[in-house]
Amino acid sequence: MRRKTTITGALVAVILVASCSDDVQLPTTPVDVTVMTRNVYVGTDVDRILTAQTPEEFVMRVVETWQMLHATDFAERAEALADEIAEAGPHLVGLQEITLFRTQSPGDAVIGGTVPAEDVYLDFLSILMNGLADRGLSYTVVAEVEATDVEVPLPLGDGTFSDVRMTDYDVVLARSDVGLSDARVGKYFAMLPVATPTGAAVEIRRGWVSVNATVEDITIRFVNTHLEPADYTDQIQAWQLGELLDLLGDETKPIVLVGDLNSEADGSGTPSYQNLLNAGYQDVHQLDPTPDGDALTCCHDLGLRNAAVQFTKRIDHILLANTPVAPEVDAWIVGHDLADRTASGLWPSDHAGVVARLTFQDD
């Protein structure tokens, strides 16, 4: 399954502008399209490593985050995530923080080596796809974009080190009955550089994935992305959204944009969400209003064992554009009820997911 060829943002931009000439055509009889966005959570506090102030603290935090990764047990969480997809039955799924961990032992990162770790240790995508197959579900990986790729030394306690390499992907899955064409991926040019106390510079990259998807008599452009949080500066996120809006600016097919946008719907955070509305995008929760407390999506404790839900933000979104006749919408969230936890008490992710059933029909 690993790895599909990715396409650079510059090449995709050229393809996109050149190929968007179709008129919007809505079906004359109702067609339901169900979509889902799910940040599956990397499973550990990577930011804690990147904010270390000394080399010693950096190495210590690598150990701590490695331990948390095991404690949040993605194999167990993937069972719950697969159950969510099985219950919702989405035609299309946008996944964020699909992570591939690779190791190398002995490692060379501690001495400034540059040989990349290649031994697969934990592959989120393979685990999740196996979980879907075990449930008799037929989904395919349409496309994936590699975002951040970072490697750090992991002390083994005996004076030696392994290397741990973490690669983050955004992915689109499609049900087998969906017609697919023109899958594209790209990385944003705007990215967050982080200097580490070891002297190594890390680039936090974000990307997007899109595809033409046909369900019965409707073809949409389905887009999945994960924008940079505003922990350091909201300017990076603003630039990334600007790039995405430019890329989609000439698209005439109905657009369904999903993802962890890291921008709050109540306007208390970054302006990206409001900028999308200003650009003509419609939030599914505007078309199917839900009490705010029932639509919040973030965040569970990073250890995923909090006994009560204390979400305060709605940053995971499904938005629509290029729909001259707004579809009927039924929208809901998943991963926020106590019953959604695994047998050992883990939440499926630190985020809730969002699902929307869109009924397209011409007047």
Residues 43, 45, 50, 55, CA torsion sign:
negative
270, two tokens: 């970054």
Res 96: pLDDT: 98
Torsion angle in degrees (nearest 10) through CA of 128, 132, 134, 140 = -100
| Residues 6+ away with beta carbon under 8 Å from 50 | 194, 196, 202, 204
Provide the token pair at 333: 């969230």
CB atoms within 10 A of CB 65: 22
Which residues make beta-bridge pairs with 155?
161
Contact 90/142 with Cβ under 8 angstroms? no
Span between the terminal Cα atoms of the chain, in Å? 43
| Kind of pairing between the strands at 31-39 and 353-360 | antiparallel
For residue 307, the model assigns a pLDDT of: 95
Domain boundaries, the chain: 9-360
Q: For the CA atoms of the chain, what is the radius of gyration?
A: 20
Mean pLDDT for back-to-back runs of 10 residues, the chain (363 residues): 39 35 71 97 92 89 96 98 98 98 90 89 98 98 96 88 95 98 97 83 93 96 96 89 97 97 93 96 89 83 95 96 89 95 98 96 78
| Residue 212: partners with Cβ closer than 8 Å, 6 or more residues away | 180, 181, 182, 219, 220, 221, 222, 253
pLDDT of residue 51: 86
Structure tokens at 236: 């990076």
HSE (side-chain half, CA atoms, 13 Å) at 356 = 29
Residue 289 has a pLDDT of: 76
Q: Minimal CA–CA distance to 197: which of 68, 42, 63, 48?
A: 48
Q: Are 182 and 205 in contact (CB under 8 A)?
A: no
Burial (CB < 10 A; 0-12, 13-18, 19+), residue 45, is: middle
Please answer whether residues 185 and 7 qualify as being in contact, where contact means their C-beta atoms are separated by less than 8 angstroms: yes
Amino acid sitting at position 271 = P
Q: Where are the alpha helices (DSSP H) in 89-225?
A: 124-134
pTM of the shown model = 0.91
Query: In CATH, what number does 9-360 get?
Result: 3.60.10.10
Residue owning tokens 């395919």: 140
Task: Give the Cα separation of 207 and 9 in Å (integer).
Answer: 9
pLDDT at 200: 73
Q: Which of 223, 202, 137, 119 is nearest to 175 (CA)?
A: 137
Length of the chain: 363
H or E segment at 292? helix 292-295
Q: At 230, which helix (H) or strand (E)? A: none
In 3D space, the residue among 39, 50, 89 whose CA is nearest the CA of residue 313 turns out to be 39
User: What Å distances lie between residue 113 and 59, 101, 109, 116, CA to CA?
Assistant: 16, 18, 5, 9
